[in-house]
């Protein structure tokens, strides 16, 4: 799963997506377990 999270981090850095957990935006660096990726 590390390559997927790395790709998600790049998209977050570009401002294209947000990472959520339980419907709340979270910091990918501290998020554990399943996450969701949504467009901004």
Cβ neighbours around 37 below 10 Å, total? 16
The pair phi, psi for residue 35, each rounded to 5°, is -130, 165
Q: Is the pTM of this model over 0.85?
A: no
The DSSP code for 15 is T
Note the pLDDT tens digit of each residue in 19-28. Answer: 999 999 999 9
pLDDT of the residue at 38: 98
Note the pLDDT tens digit of each residue in 1-40. Answer: 789 999 999 999 999 999 999 999 999 999 999 999 999 9
At 4, list the tokens: 């997927």
Contact 20, 2 (CB under 8 A): no
CA 28 to chain centre: 5
């Amino acid at each position: 799963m590390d390559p997927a999270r790395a790709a998600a981090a790049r998209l977050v850095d570009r401002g294209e997506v947000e990472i959520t957990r339980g419907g709340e935006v979270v910091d990918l660096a501290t998020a554990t377990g399943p996450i969701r990726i949504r467009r901004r």
